[in-house]
Chains A and B, each alone.
Chain A
Amino acid sequence: MTSYRRTRAFWIQVAAGLALIVAVVLLVRAAQTSLAAQGVTSGFGFLQRSTGWDISFSLIPYTISDPYWKVLLAGLLNTLFLGVIGLALASVLGVIVGTLRTANNAVLNAFGTTYVEVLRNVPLILQAFFWYAVFTHLPRPKQALVLADAVVLSSRGIYLPGMNISASAGMIGGALILAGVILALVLSLLPRPTLARRRMLPRLSRIALFGGFGLGVLVMLLGKEAGMPLLNVAELKGLRFDGGVRISPEFAALLVAMSLYGGAYLGEIIRAGFMSVSRGQIEAAKALGLTTWQVFSRVRLPMALRAVLPTLTNQYVWLLKATTLGIAVGYSDFFLVISTSINQSGQTVELILILMAGFLIMNNVLAGIMNFINRRIALRGTQLRT
Chain B
Amino acid sequence: MSDATLQADRARPPVSPFVERLKERLFPTPLSGLLSALGIAAALWIAFVLIRWAFLDATFTGTPEDCQQTTGACWAVISARWRLMFFGLYPYELHWRSGIAGLILIAVIVASCVPVFWSATRLALLWVVSFALFWIIMHGGVFGLETVTEEKWGGLTLSIFIFCGTALVGMPLAIVLALLRRSRYPLVAKVAAVLIDTVRSLPLVTILFTVSILLPILMPDMPLSKISRVILGMALFFAAYQAEIIRSGIQSLPVGQEEAAKALGLGYWHRMTRVVLPQAFRRALPPTISQFAISFKEVALVIIIGVFDFLASGNAAYGSGEWAFTYVEVYVFLAFVYFLFVFSLSRYGAYLERRMRVGK
**Contact residues of A with B, CB < 8 Å?**
9, 12-13, 16-17, 20, 27, 30-31, 34-35, 37-38, 40, 103-108, 110-111, 117-118, 120-127, 129-130, 133-134, 137, 317, 321-322, 324-325, 327-328, 335, 339, 342, 348-349, 352, 355-356, 359-360, 363-364
User: With contacts A13-B186, A324-B205, A364-B201 known, is A35 near B217, CB below 8 A?
Assistant: yes
A328 neighbours in B (Cβ, 8 Å): 303-304
C-beta contact mask, B321-334 vs A, less than 8 Å → 1, else 0?
00001011001001
* Chain B minimum-CB-distance residue to A349: B214
* Chain A minimum-CB-distance residue to B315: A129
B311 near A111 with CB under 8 A, answer no
A126 near B201 with CB under 8 A, answer no
A133 near B328 with CB under 8 A, answer yes
Pairs A–B under 8 Å by Cβ, sample size 11: A12-B185, A110-B39, A118-B339, A121-B297, A121-B339, A122-B297, A122-B335, A122-B342, A126-B334, A321-B204, A356-B202
A339 neighbours in B (Cβ, 8 Å): 209
Question: B201 contacts which of A20, A38, A360 (Cβ < 8 Å)?
Answer: A360
Q: Roughly how many angstroms separate A38 CA and B28 CA in the complex, as a whole number?
A: 74
A16 near B300 with CB under 8 A, answer no
Q: Roughly how many angstroms separate A316 CA and B40 CA in the complex, as a whole number?
A: 33
Question: A13 contacts which of B28, B187, B205, B218 (Cβ < 8 Å)?
Answer: B187
A130 near B206 with CB under 8 A, answer no
B304 near A327 with CB under 8 A, answer yes
Cβ-based interface call for B82 (8 A): no
Cβ-based interface call for B136 (8 A): no
C-beta contact mask, B263-307 vs A, less than 8 Å → 1, else 0?
000000000000000000000000000000100011011011000
- Give chain B nearest CB distance to A123 CB in angstroms: 4
Q: Roughly how many angstroms separate A324 CA and B32 CA in the complex, as a whole number?
A: 42
- Give chain A nearest CB distance to B37 CB in angstroms: 8
B331 near A133 with CB under 8 A, answer yes
User: Among residues 191 to 224 in chain B, which have CB atoms less than 8 Å away from a CB atom of chain A?
Assistant: 191, 198, 201-206, 209-210, 213-214, 217-220
**Contact residues of B with A, CB < 8 Å?**
22, 25-26, 28, 32, 35-36, 39-40, 43, 184-188, 191, 198, 201-206, 209-210, 213-214, 217-220, 293, 297-298, 300-301, 303-304, 311, 315, 325, 327-328, 331, 334-335, 338-339, 342-343, 346
Question: A35 contacts which of B32, B187, B218, B328 (Cβ < 8 Å)?
Answer: B218
User: With contacts A17-B187, A348-B217 known, is A126 near B335, CB below 8 A?
Assistant: yes
The secondary-structure label for the interface of chain B is helix
B39 near A126 with CB under 8 A, answer no
- Give chain A nearest CB distance to B297 CB in angstroms: 4
A129 neighbours in B (Cβ, 8 Å): 311, 315, 331
B331 near A105 with CB under 8 A, answer no
A121 near B187 with CB under 8 A, answer no
Q: Roughly how many angstroms separate A162 CA and B39 CA in the complex, as a whole number?
A: 35
* Chain B minimum-CB-distance residue to A28: B218
B184 near A9 with CB under 8 A, answer yes
B203 near A20 with CB under 8 A, answer no
Question: B301 contacts which of A12, A16, A125 (Cβ < 8 Å)?
Answer: A125
